[in-house]
Amino acid sequence: MEAVVINTQNQRSHDWSEHCLSAVKKFIKNAVVIDNEPVLAKRQSHAETQVTILNQPNSTGMGDFLFERDESGLVSPIASEPNANMTDVIVSDDSIYAHTLDIRKVSDAFAESGIACSFVLPCDEDQNEELKITRILLSAKLTDIVVIDWYLHGDNPNLTRQVLTKLAESDASAGGRLRLIVVYTGQTITDGIFSDIKDSLSNGGITVRDIEDHIFTAKNDSCLVIALNKAEVSPTDLPERLFKLFLLLSEGLIPSFSLAAVGAIRKNMHHLVTRFSKELDTAYISNRLITNPPTDVTELMRDLLVSEFDNAIGLERIADEYLDVESIRLWLDAHENNFSSQEYSREVIDKKFIVQLLNSGIDDKGFKDHVGTIIKLPVEKRGLISIALAGGMELSREAQNKFSRLVAFKREAVMLPKFSSHVDWSPSLTTGSLLKHDNGRFFLCLTPACDALRLINDSSFVFLEATLVQDSYSVVLKDKSNDEIKLKFDRKRPKLSTFIFTPDITQRVRGLMSIDGQENFIFQDASGCDSFTWLGEIRYGRAASEMAQLVGNWMRIGINDSEHLRLIDAGKISG
């Protein structure tokens, strides 16, 4: 019986992994392989292979040899001839030199997996290390997977160390680019080598931690680095191995959805571009010239492009495949051991309870079980669902607050460093701008977006003040210290304030980067008396909802109808 349970759990874990793996395969589109000892192997017979040495180094360090068969049939190295560029030798199948890279096998394997694979093949005869590093980085920066040999020059790993450090610097400056780095080497991998690999990344600003139960594997939130031996993982098996390892970065319901969604956009990218052809140039320019303000047409074009991305995701049915009931069922099966059962009244919120809720759906009273019996789930008890799924109160709170930030904010100041090209960007004051006054008070801008454009003179902006709280908060965000800020908007007795700001040459009020080195954007009022730090921009729909609730409270008229009729109209009683 125990064996059956274990097999069932293993099957569920396998099904979930395969589900996530399908998203990884949709996402990963390109890889670069960097090696200084490439060969082309051409099979001669069942027992022999012809190897074409593409790059013969003069160095006598490890790996810098050609091959020659002796009388015993074994392969022994002989020093390469100077200035030779290509040589064919015959070797037995099992003794192709461990440090070389068969680029045909690698290329074919990646192509069969749907990955475009490029190669950078530095030559040992080339002594210009700076140029080598530049070539490698230019090829590696835009790829999802970087495969690099540990020895890129003779038997010295210094060039690889420099490349890893430079690549880490680039990824760190981009806010943590999602990437898989593979050191694929003929060397026997040791703890010392793997420590050197991690130290090289750390010198560039990326710190990774070893993953338990995965030898020579480490990661952080965006980078996964592994070391593989060429003899243990053949070029033919390399892509599938890397797909599965990528799951260590992306295993999850939401990560799988996002990977698959980006994959759908990548897949349809060329079609999307053709939708925005040069025939539209004159129409766009003419509309911009006769529209006031002209920047509205620019925003329209951006919205249209985003809409095409959304269309691609919809046509590929990504949400149906990765966010719907069957995906959630797979997730529940794979993670049920992490659940924390919760109780209320006579009910126990466990996997069975959650599956029934998933199948039935919820209404104001609760939901129906598999036989149609109503299970009451009061509103005040529904937070227990999250606690049960997350495995505890604190884990639930962290997950829900992170989700709330994603839903509420279009932009967060704390997230800007994640984007590498935000240097020349600055926020403008508009509906949803969330500011912190120097005196510690918080303000949400409610001025309509259209009134924040085409400003010629000093203009007033209306703000709803928020109160700093610990519980019952309306919105949560993080500051630069990674501490949570919880704010409450009082909609019944709102505190409204008006401040006057001066527009710049773009006819908008824009924040200026602070000079204290903290990368904060500051809004200064026209009088110079009030200074605000920009915390982020709440999504327009959410900000508009706050305005609507204010108006709703202000427009209350009192009793203007029969209470009995009102209850009938609401479906609370029968007539």
For 255-308, write each residue's pLDDT tens digit.
999 999 999 999 988 888 889 999 999 999 999 999 877 878 988 999 999 999
Domain total in the chain = 4
pLDDT at 561: 63
Q: Which residues pair with 357 in a beta bridge?
A: none
| Residue 145 and residue 82 share a domain | no
pLDDT at 417: 62
pLDDT at 3: 61
Region 40-51: mean pLDDT is 57
pLDDT at 57: 43
pLDDT tens per residue, range 399-421: 999 999 999 999 999 887 665 55
Number of residues that this document lists for the chain: 575
The CATH number of whichever domain residue 132 belongs to comes to: 3.40.50.2300
* Whether residue 47 has pLDDT greater than 70: no
| Residue 471 and residue 432 share a domain | yes
* Whether residue 49 has pLDDT greater than 80: no
* Whether residue 69 has pLDDT greater than 50: no
User: Which residues have a Cβ under 8 Å from the Cβ of 438 and sit 6 or more positions away?
Assistant: 530, 531, 532, 533
pLDDT tens per residue, range 155-171: 889 999 999 999 999 98
| Residue 119 and residue 73 share a domain | no
What integer best gives the mean pLDDT of the chain?
86
In a domain, 396, yes or no: no
Region 546-559: mean pLDDT is 73
| pTM confidence score | 0.82
| Residue 276 and residue 175 share a domain | no
Parallel, antiparallel or unpaired: strands 30-34 and 116-120: parallel
Instruction: Tell me which residue of 422, 428, 439 sits closest to 497, measured CA to CA.
Output: 439
| pLDDT: which is higher, 445 or 9 | 445
In a domain, 133, yes or no: yes
pLDDT at 343: 95
| Residue 238 and residue 109 share a domain | yes
* Whether residue 229 has pLDDT greater than 90: yes
**Residue 344 and residue 354: Cα distance in Å, rounded?**
14
**Residue 303 lies in domain:** 269-315
| Residue 71 and residue 101 share a domain | no
pLDDT tens per residue, range 175-217: 778 999 999 999 999 999 999 999 999 999 999 999 998 999 9
In a domain, 458, yes or no: yes
pLDDT tens per residue, range 454-470: 899 999 999 999 999 98
Region 87-99: mean pLDDT is 52
| Residue 489 and residue 426 share a domain | yes
* Whether residue 554 has pLDDT greater than 60: yes
In degrees, rounded to 5, the angle at the alpha carbon of residue 186 between the alpha carbons of residues 182 and 187 is 95
